[in-house]
């Protein structure tokens, strides 16, 4: 039978699996699986040539049991409702594992942003907030950057929100530029969190980080920062990287500074001089000690999991490994740090940003990074300890912690009305 690659159905399958392991009440499980609210909107946007294009947009609030919804907005041509529903669910579990007072939410627009001018991108960003205005707010649902969105787009969005609401509440969005209430350390937070999670996992499995052969699939914001920190702070040897145009492999090591310089100047690493060129699919199957998938979901499946040759796999992307692949990798002895744990650094520092916005008092970058390190180390060790206790893998253990926390709050709050 062909493997199911529907991300929402895969998320539901994982919830059902862990609910069975926990012998959880079926009524609670039903509440955990169903998104609380789904909004679909059409966004008419005037283009530079005077024409009007209509883009489909989504905002899904999976749960607000633990607090206001939290989740990014992605601009991508392949965005669809099931993807956004899955991402909102993953955010619920991610926030619960992280121990921060948020529920899960996510948003997206089906668009190729590379085909838009800056002014068209601004109009689209503002139109998204205009369409979703009643769903958003610092105590309701707080968007942040995601795939193909950034601090500038958050700036346009928070300005639109404040103008429409007649408020100066900057905490309604996170991932903002520093001068607009953003937090120091936020751009690097997700990649830094991946680096911390990898360090804890490596220590627990007896893997020496210094000299460990590292492959990072996806050299965007998260992947590039992960690679940089794991090379410069942990002493890893980067032997493979990739972006949308393809991959580069060199068993003798790649120059991280040259890669970062290329990515900054040309927005791609395809013109890196040296190494062997190959496809994104091939780089995943090269032998290494640590593999970091940092692109999109469903890149490691039942079809290629047997060919993965790594000791430690750290999910920097959301949903890069399918359930079928999970089982194959586990049987092979690969330690897999799941996305809901590994890439939580972004939402943790978004929480720090929100706290700073509420308090109108801002932290140093050193404080942000130290607080992030403490949370990531604590959360990673808690998941590892839960896995040992139940003799299961880290994904199941992470879901156990998250689902128990959310279910407990639902039981305490009750069903209203």
Catalytically active residues are 106
Q: Measured in Å, how far apart are the chain's first and last C-alpha atoms?
A: 43
Partnered with residue 69 across adjacent β-strands are 103, 141
Nearest to 351 by CA among 342, 339, 363, 335: 363
Whether a cis peptide bond, with omega within 30° of 0, leads into 417 is yes
Phi, psi dihedrals of residue 131, rounded to the nearest 5°: -75, -30
Distance CA 416, CA 401 (A): 25
Nearest to 72 by CA among 13, 153, 178, 177: 153
CA dist 188 to 97, 136, 233, Å?
20, 25, 14
Partnered with residue 161 across adjacent β-strands are none
Q: At 80, is the secondary structure helix, strand, or coil? A: coil
Q: At 344, is the secondary structure helix, strand, or coil? A: coil
CB 196 within 8 A of CB 377: yes
CB 155 within 8 A of CB 177: yes
19: left (phi over 0), alpha (psi -120 to 50) or beta: alpha
CA angle 106, 10, 400 (to 5 degrees): 85
Distance CA 223, CA 142 (A): 24
Which residue bears the tokens 């092979």?
Answer: 332
CA dist 37 to 21, 129, 135, 254, Å?
28, 17, 9, 46
């Amino acid at each position: 039978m062909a493997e199911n690659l529907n991300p929402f159905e895969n998320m539901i399958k994982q919830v059902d699996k862990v609910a069975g392991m926990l012998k959880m009440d079926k009524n609670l499980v039903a509440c955990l699986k169903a998104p609380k609210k789904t909004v679909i909107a059409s966004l008419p946007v005037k283009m530079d040539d005077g024409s009007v294009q209509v883009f489909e947009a989504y905002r899904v609030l999976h749960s607000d049991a633990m607090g206001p919804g939290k989740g990014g907005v992605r601009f991508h041509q392949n965005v669809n409702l099931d993807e956004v529903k899955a991402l909102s669910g993953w955010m619920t579990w991610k926030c619960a594992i992280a121990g921060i007072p948020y529920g899960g939410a996510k948003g997206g627009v089906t668009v190729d942003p590379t085909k838009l001018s800056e002014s068209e991108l601004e109009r689209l960003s503002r139109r998204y907030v205009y369409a979703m205005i009643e769903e958003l707010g610092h105590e309701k649902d707080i968007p942040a950057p995601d795939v193909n969105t950034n601090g500038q787009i958050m700036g346009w969005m928070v300005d639109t929100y404040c103008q429409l609401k007649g408020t100066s509440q900057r905490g309604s969005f996170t991932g903002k530029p520093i001068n607009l209430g953003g937090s120091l350390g936020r751009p690097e937070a997700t990649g830094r969190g991946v680096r911390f999670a990898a360090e804890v996992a490596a220590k627990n499995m007896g893997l020496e980080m210094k000299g460990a052969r590292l492959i990072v699939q996806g050299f965007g914001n998260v992947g590039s920062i992960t690679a940089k920190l794991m090379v410069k702070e942990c002493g890893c040897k980067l032997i493979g990287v990739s972006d949308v145009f393809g991959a580069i492999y060199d068993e003798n090591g790649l120059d991280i500074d040259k890669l970062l310089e290329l990515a900054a100047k040309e927005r791609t690493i395809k013109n890196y001089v040296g190494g062997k060129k190959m496809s994104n699919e091939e780089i995943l199957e090269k032998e290494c000690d640590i593999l970091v998938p940092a692109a999109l979901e469903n890149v490691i499946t039942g079809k290629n999991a047997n060919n993965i040759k790594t000791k430690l796999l750290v999910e920097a992307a959301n949903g890069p490994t399918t359930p079928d692949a999970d089982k194959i990798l586990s049987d092979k002895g690969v330690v897999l740090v799941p996305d809901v744990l590994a890439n939580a650094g972004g939402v943790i520092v978004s929480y720090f940003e929100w706290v700073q916005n509420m308090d109108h008092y801002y932290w140093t970058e050193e404080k942000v990074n130290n607080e992030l390190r403490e949370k990531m180390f604590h959360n990673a060790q808690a998941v590892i300890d839960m896995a040992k206790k139940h003799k299961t893998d880290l994904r199941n253990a992470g879901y156990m912690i998250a689902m128990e926390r959310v279910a407990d709050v639902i039981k305490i709050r009750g069903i209203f009305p």
